[in-house]
Amino acid sequence: MTALPPSDRQLGLAATARRVLPAGGFGNLTSDIIIARGAGGRVWDETGNEYVDFLLGSGPMLVGHAHPDVTAAVIEQVKLGTTYFANNRHGITLAAEIVAAVACAEQVRFVSTGTEADMYALRVARAFRGRDRILKFEGGYHGMSDHALMSLAPKQPGNFPQAIPDGAGVPARVRDEVLVAPFNDLAAFEALLAAHHDDLAAVIIEPLQRVIPPAPGFLAGVRAITAKYGVVLIFDEVVTGFRFAYGGAQEKYGVVPDLCTLGKVIGGGFPLAAIAGRADIMAHFDRGLVGDDKFLMQVGTLSGNPVAAAAGLASLEILRRPGAYEQIFTTGRTLMTAMADLLRRFGIPGQVIGEPPMFDVVFTTAPIANYRDVLRGDADLARRFNAKLRPRGILKGDSKYYVSLAHTDADIAHTIAAWTEALAELAKEAA
């Protein structure tokens, strides 16, 4: 596939974007691409270039773009109105489906974004425990709130458990409310909990941290240690929820937290996220149960939006169909195996890490157990590799491939061919 030169329409939109948007974009993907439409496992830009899409809108489009069943559900609801700021049938039904599917979920509270879900999960844990500090794992992503933007991506990691702010505008005092631990190091985690459990409201963790899998026994150990001290354990399943299994990472790894956050897949491509968990913790959203002093106010104009809930319900119905998860995992395994084989074929040091629905390559042969191990990979080689893929019709983010139910055998073949050409060029450049 030969990339087309930018059309006048794309150039005009890009010029407008540079004028009216900081850095010319929305703050998400690089601003040098403008997507016009998507269908199945592919997207097209405003010039007409076609891409196999492994970005998937940063993950929500697990069943593919413009799935006819999702589209029909959305159109049916849009005819009845787009939002009410009140309970609605689709939102209530979606909450019931989450409770039925997700092991920790006894009750659900909807918000619009994953950032909100993580922020409110931490807040309700603080209300429940009557303590302020939280513990997160270095390199873990939990949205854009002040507490989440601690040691997400420090260029020069500090000494554990000291948190490092990730950007401007985060109050300096927040660092004193966040402890940081290394992922996959159960001994270090246990020592921190032993020393600080009296101050901690919650531990928040991605069950799979970005693309780093949990070591055998690590999540179970975190669960046991937090339970021992009565500290609330939060699984951030905004990414993994309904992606790794219908019951999420909790089902796949067999570990049940006290609370979890959900997003992406449950909104079917529309803004919708949720906090779910134990009823005694979720009670703090109910003034009638806990009283004024322990009540946590949470209001959102679009929380439980009926269009988003209808899209989410339609997406979940598709995922419940026989063979859906088997297909996603088969596609992912095929791609992961092909990438590993190509790295060996071209003699490029690297390894494929993650799970079949979500993975990437890190250009190092050293073991990868945590954020600092990823930093030791060849980031320049990764950038060069990714840069060679877009002109060959592959769209992905900087740090992962999202696999969808809609990716076809043709998409797989196209992807492997693009990888082969790009890695061959990298090998030649290194010779």
Output the pLDDT for position 1: 59
Weakly modelled stretches of the chain, pLDDT under 50 = none
113 touches 143 (CB < 8 A):
yes
> CA-to-CA distance for 32 and 290, rounded, in angstroms?
50
Q: Which residues pair with 235 in a beta bridge?
A: 205, 260
Out of 141, 253, 325, 371, which one is annotated catalytic?
A: 141
Q: Is the pTM of this model over 0.95?
A: yes
Instruction: Mark residue 400 as left, alpha or beta (left: phi above 0; alpha: psi -120 to 50; beta: remaining).
Output: beta
Q: Please name the residue that has the structure tokens 């109105």.
A: 81
Residues 37-54: pLDDT tens digits? 999 999 999 999 999 999
Q: Which residue has the tokens 């702010």?
A: 165
Identity of the residue numbered 214: P
Dump strand ranges (E) for 308-410: 351-355, 358-362, 394-395, 401-402
Positive or negative CA dihedral for 313, 316, 321, 324? positive
What whole-number distance in Å separates Cα of residue 155 and Cα of residue 142? 18
DSSP state of 65: B
CA–chain centroid gap for 431, Å, is 37
Residue 201 vs residues 124, 133, 139, 225, 229: alpha-carbon distances, Å: 9, 6, 20, 14, 11
Who's near 96: CB < 8 A, 6+ residues apart? none
262 CB neighbour count, 10 Å cutoff: 31
Q: Which residues pair with 42 in a beta bridge?
A: 39, 52
d(CA 100, CA 98): 5
User: Which residue do the tokens 């873990």 mark?
Assistant: 140
Rg of the chain taking only CA atoms, in angstroms: 22
Query: What domains lie within the chain, and their CATH numbers?
Result: 8-66+324-430 (3.90.1150.10), 68-319 (3.40.640.10)
Could you read off the pLDDT of 302-359 as tens digits, one per residue?
A: 999 999 999 999 999 999 999 999 999 999 999 999 999 999 999 999 999 999 999 9
Q: Cβ neighbours of residue 2 under 8 Å, at least 6 residues apart? A: 391
Which pLDDT score is estimated for 389?
97
Verify whether residue 228 is a known catalytic residue. Answer: no
- Distance, C-alpha 28 to centroid of its chain: 13
- Strands 394-395, 50-53: pairing is parallel
Task: From the candidates 236, 258, 373, 411, give the one annotated as an active-site residue.
Answer: 236
Catalytic residue among 264, 388, 396, 400: 264
- Specify the length of the chain in residues: 431
Pairwise CA distance, residues 282 & 217, whole Å: 28
